[in-house]
Structure 1
Amino acid sequence: MNTRRTHPAGGVDDALRHPRTQQALRGTTVLVGCYAGVSALTLLAVILLRHHPDMVTDAVWVRAVIVVATSLLMASFAARTARGHRRSYLRLRLASALMLVAIAVIIALPGGFPTWLKLEQGVCGALLLGVVMIVNGRRMRAAFASR
């Protein structure tokens, strides 16, 4: 019978239990959690400022909702990665890199978004840069390479 296992028969392997890997996993989870928190607070600000069309445009609404949704997905990926799920680790690597590129584009393009949102996206970008650096680091790649 072909049953799918997310962990080796003996449980989480030594590479994932290594203290530095555990520290990297905790750091990733904290950074993604902060990203989700900042994103949720931004959506709250958008809701509160909805009657100020110079500060909250349609593009701001769309961006805020997308960022909250992706941040929650990434929080799920980070939590599952911390439990040793290789596919979630790969999803976290991909999502964090794509969102970082999207943030760089938003900040770089003139117009389109108000300055306050670009500043907020800069904060999110800094958090995601930390995630990208950790999840693409040698220790994390090695921990999930054998899985």
Structure 2
Amino acid sequence: MTAQHTAPATVPASVTAGPAAGSDVFANPVPVPIPTPAPAAVDAPTRWTFTLLRANVGLSVGFLGLAFLFREGLDPVVWIRAAGVLLLALLSLRWAARMRDGARSAWMRMLWVSVVGPIGIAALVLLPGPYPMWARVEQAVQGLLLLGVAWSVTRPQVRARIVKAPGKKKR
């Protein structure tokens, strides 16, 4: 038998242009960009709503702090109101975040709290009761903040981002 000598087959350059022999392919992986959703543009009334609600939380914390500071001889209804107002203020921030994302139920809650809240606060401020003057002043300021929230959540820019509930089918 005779040994036949054949020419080596030509290999395309694209195959040989890979990593050098013995190099670690995983040492420098190619970064793959992960698409992140762009943050939704927040309109001015929504920013204003969050500013007012943060101020409302601050006032609520102050109200509870003053109730603690002046706890001697303070009617328990003031404590209950202070704790309830703080809880509602914190819930309102959560509802505003959901409202910003288009949740109709959160928008409705914000609307109810910001419209009915000042009415209840006006009764507290104007009618006689167990509330000291400092509590009445603090609640009056919170009522004004809630009126500002009512104005801001009814702006067309805010209402435009609220997802409409699907209509009921008629039979």
- The interval holding the TM-score normalised by the smaller chain is 0.7 to 0.9
Matched, 1:45 2:66: yes
Q: Could you list the per-position Cα deviations for residues 39-79 of structure 1 after superposition, in whole angstroms to 9, with x for gaps in the alignment?
A: 0111011112212x1xx211211111110111111111112
Q: Which has the higher contact order (CA 8 A, sep 6+)?
A: 1
Which of 1 and 2 has greater Rg? Answer: 2
Aligned residue type for 2:92: M
CA deviations 1:23-47 (Å, max 9, x no partner) are 1111101101110111011101111
- Choose which of 132, 136, 140 in structure 1 pairs with 2:150: 132
2:98 matches 1:80 = yes
Deviations 1:79-101 (A, max 9, x none): 22122222211111112222111
Q: Tell me the distance in 1 between the aligned counterparts of 2:53 and 2:60.
A: 10
| In 2: Cα distance, 1:95 partner to 1:89 partner | 10
Count of residue correspondences = 128
2:127 is equivalent to residue 109 of structure 1 = yes
For structure 1, list consecutive stretches of 5 or more residues without a partner in the other structure. Answer: 1-10
The corresponding residue for 1:36 is 57
Secondary structure at 1:24's aligned position in 2?
helix
Q: 1:90 aligns with which of 108, 111, 120?
A: 108
Residue 120 (structure 1) shift: 0.3
Aligned counterparts of 1:141 and 1:82: Cα–Cα separation in 2: 10
In the alignment, structure 2 segments of 5+ residues that lack a partner are: 1-36, 166-171
Residue 133 of structure 1: how far off its partner (Å)? 0.9
Normalising to structure 2: TM-score of the pair? 0.67
In the alignment, the residues of structure 2 paired with residue 81 and residue 43 of structure 1 have an alpha-carbon distance, to the nearest angstrom, of 27
Residue in 2 that maps onto 1:60: 78
CA RMSD of aligned residues (A): 2.1
Distance 1:22 1:138 in 2: 10
* Stretches of 4+ aligned residues off by more than 4 angstroms: none
